Amino acid sequence: MDREMREEYLVVIQAKDMGGHMGGLSGTATVTVTLSDVNDNPPKFSKSIYEFVIPEDLGLEKSGGRVKANDRDIGENAQSAYSIIDGDGKDVFEITTDPYTQEGILQLKKPLDFESKKSYTLKVEATNIIMDPRFSSGGPFRDTATVKITVEDSDEPPVFSSAGYLLQVHENASVNTILGQVFAHDPDSSDSSIRYLIDRHTDLERQFNINTDNGKIMLAKPLDREMDMWHNITVTATEVRNHSQISRTTVTIKVLDINDNAPQFAKEKEVFLCENGNPGQVIETVSAIDKDDPINGHIFIYRLASNNPNFTIKNNIGKLWLFHQHAL
C-alpha cells in the first residue's frame, strides 16, 4: 500500500450463521481502513536553481529569499532542516527553517558590499529531520539545489576616514589658520562628490569654518585657552548628487597654551610689624598665580618694586619671603 496514492479504504464485511448454508441469516458492517504515514519519501526542491536579487544594504538576519523542499509525507515525517553545504557565500549567508511553512529562509551573517563582490553561488541542502532506517538506508533523506544571488547596488552615505578627529592649535593662532582636515568618500561606484559643513548647533559662536569642498577646518575667531581649552564640533558630509545621504563625525580641537597672561598675587595682603621686630625675621609669605599653564610649571621671580633699606625679599620656588632687614 502507498499512503501517498490512497490514504483510506472502505471494506464491507459480511457475517453469516449456519456456516453459510441455505436458510442462514447474515449481517454486514463497513470497516474504514486508514493508512498511517511512514517517512518513505525524501524532500524534493521544486526547482534545481533559485535566483535572488538582494540589495547590499539588507540588514543582518533579514530575509533575502526563500526556498522550499516539498515532501509527500505528512506531519513530522515531512519536516526538513536546511543548510548551506557549499559555495562562495558560506561565510556570508545562513539558512534557517520557517516552522510554519517549512521554507528555508536565506539570511545575512555579514554585510554585503556591491563594490567588492556582486554575486554569490550557494549549494543548499534539505534534510528530513525524522529518520526511518527502513526506507532511508540508515540515514535521513536529502535533496540539494543551487542558489544564485545577485547583489544590487544601494546608495550608501559617505564614509569618513576616521570615526573622530583630534586637532590642536595655539591660542595665538591668527584667523584663517588651517587647523586640519577631515575626509570622507562615497563608497558607491558612482563616487559622488562630497560637501562638508559644520553643524552650527555645536559651534554657536562660529569660531571655526570649513572648506565645503576639501574639508579643511579653519579658525574664524581668535581663541583663548584660559576661557575654553577644548572645543567639540560636528562635521557633516553630504553627497552632492543625493542630499539625503549624510554622515557625521566629531572633531575635537585642543587649544594649546602660550604665555599671554601676567602673574597675579593670589590675594592682597596688609602686613603688620612690631617696632621691636628683629632683623632677619620673616614677616610675611606671599605667592602668585598665573592663568597660563606652562609645561614645566610656573616659576616666578619676586622683587621689591621700590628700594627700601628696611626690607628684603627671598625667592623660594615660586613663593616670596619678606624679611625684616633692619631695626625700626
CATH code of domain 159-256: 2.60.40.60
Which of 35, 141, 26 is CA-nearest to residue 80? 141
Using the structure block, give the residue that is written with the C-alpha cell 619678606.
Answer: 322
Q: What is the dihedral of CA 104, 106, 107, 109, to 10 degrees?
A: 110
CATH code of domain 44-152: 2.60.40.60
Output the pLDDT for position 167.
95
Pair 184, 215: CB distance under 8 Å: yes
Output the pLDDT for position 83.
94
pTM > 0.75: yes or no: no
8-state DSSP, 18: G
* pLDDT per residue as tens digits for the range 48-89: 999 999 988 888 888 899 999 988 888 888 888 899 999 998
Distance CA 25, CA 3 (A): 36
DSSP 229-280: SEEEEEEEEEESS-TT-EEEEEEEEEEEP-S-S--EESS-------TTPPTT
Output the pLDDT for position 211.
96
Per-domain residue ranges for the chain?
Answer: 44-152, 159-256, 264-324
Neighbours of 28 (CB within 10 A): 9
The low-confidence residues of the chain, meaning pLDDT below 50, are: 318-320, 324, 326-328
Q: Residue 247 class from Cβ within 10 Å (0-12 exposed, 13-18 middle, 19+ buried)?
A: middle
Pair 130, 39: CB distance under 8 Å: yes
* pLDDT per residue as tens digits for the range 253-297: 998 877 666 677 767 777 777 777 777 777 777 777 767 666 656
Neighbours of 186 (CB within 10 A): 22
Distance CA 169, CA 181 (A): 13
Using the structure block, give the residue that is written with the C-alpha cell 560637501.
Answer: 195
Pair 103, 136: CB distance under 8 Å: no
Q: How far apart are the first and last CA of the chain?
A: 134
The letter for the amino acid at 175 is: V
The letter for the amino acid at 46 is: S
Output the pLDDT for position 188.
77
CA 135, 137, 141, 143 dihedral sign is negative
Output the pLDDT for position 140.
56
Output the pLDDT for position 166.
96
> In angstroms, how far is CA 169 from the centroid of its own chain?
31
Distance CA 22, CA 16 (A): 10
Output the pLDDT for position 327.
45
